[in-house]
């Protein structure tokens, strides 16, 4: 998504210290995005969030809850107002929990950029550009490639992005062919 | 001494992708979970 520069996955919304995938406690599996408000608004992100899942379905456990954690008062009010409008539109209550952000616990490395890690050719090339795994996880290029591998974005958009992704011609063509096969 | 990676291996000497160098200084963060 244009305006989203970094992504990461982790655990938040609960109280347990040092949660892990195997011992998450009362946390929820979350994703975080760092976005440029000059390019994309929080409202835009919320719209995508609502359409990416069914927010009217109550979670059967905290791990899989629908959740918005607001980082400031403005996000909190925007999210609440957005949820109220959606409830009116759908004529159903929204099960999404909207709360203040407290703390985000990074998920284990093998969860970060999951689709990119699953593609040996692209992962080996991308990972080689970073001395530390945390730098790879924070990479905008890695976030974009991971998104394309997941199925987001169009092939036209990929062609526009490719020069900035720093891939070799072979790896770029590998990603393009992946996009064309969808 | 054996180095784990050969210096002539192009995969091991890749520069940062250009887009990583264009990240705006001011970013905001949003946190979500979709179940």
Q: What is the ipTM of this complex?
A: 0.94
Say if the Cβ atoms of A45 and B33 lie within 8 Å. Answer: no
Among A11, A18, A69, smallest CA distance to A45 is for A69
A180's CB contacts (< 8 A; 6+ apart) are A155
Q: In this structure, are strands A4-12 and B28-34 parallel, antiparallel, or unpaired?
A: unpaired
Distance CA B6, CA B15 (A): 16
Among A29, A35, A14, A42, smallest CA distance to A103 is for A14
Which residues in chain A come in under a pLDDT of 70? Answer: none
Distance CA A54, CA B7 (A): 50
CA distance A141 to chain B (A): 6
Q: What is the pLDDT of residues A87-134, one digit of tens each?
A: 999 999 999 999 999 999 999 999 999 999 999 999 999 999 999 999
Q: Does B8 touch chain A (CB under 8 A)?
A: no
Q: Which of 48-67 (A) contact B at CB < 8 A? A: 49, 52-54, 57, 59, 64-67
* pLDDT range class, residue B11, cuts 50, 70, 90: low
């Amino acid at each position: 998504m244009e305006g989203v520069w970094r992504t990461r996955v982790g655990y938040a919304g609960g109280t347990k210290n040092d949660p892990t995938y195997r011992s998450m406690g009362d946390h929820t599996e979350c994703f975080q995005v760092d976005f440029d408000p000059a390019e994309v608004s929080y409202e835009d992100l919320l719209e995508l969030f609502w359409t990416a899942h069914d927010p009217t379905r109550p979670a059967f456990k905290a791990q899989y809850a629908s959740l918005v954690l607001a980082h400031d008062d403005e996000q909190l009010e925007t999210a609440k107002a957005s949820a109220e409008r959606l409830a009116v539109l759908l004529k159903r209550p929204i099960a999404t929990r909207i709360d203040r952000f407290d703390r985000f616990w990074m998920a284990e490395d093998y969860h970060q950029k999951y689709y990119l890690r699953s593609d040996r050719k692209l992962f080996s090339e991308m990972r080689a550009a970073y001395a530390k795994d945390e730098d790879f996880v924070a990479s905008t290029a890695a976030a974009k490639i991971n998104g394309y591998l997941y199925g987001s974005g169009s092939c036209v958009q990929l062609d526009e992005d490719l020069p900035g992704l720093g891939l070799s011609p072979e790896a770029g063509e590998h990603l393009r062919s992946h996009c064309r096969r969808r | 001494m054996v180095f784990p990676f050969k210096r002539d291996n192009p995969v091991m000497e890749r520069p940062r992708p250009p887009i990583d160098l264009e990240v705006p200084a001011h970013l905001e963060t949003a946190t979500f979970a979709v179940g």
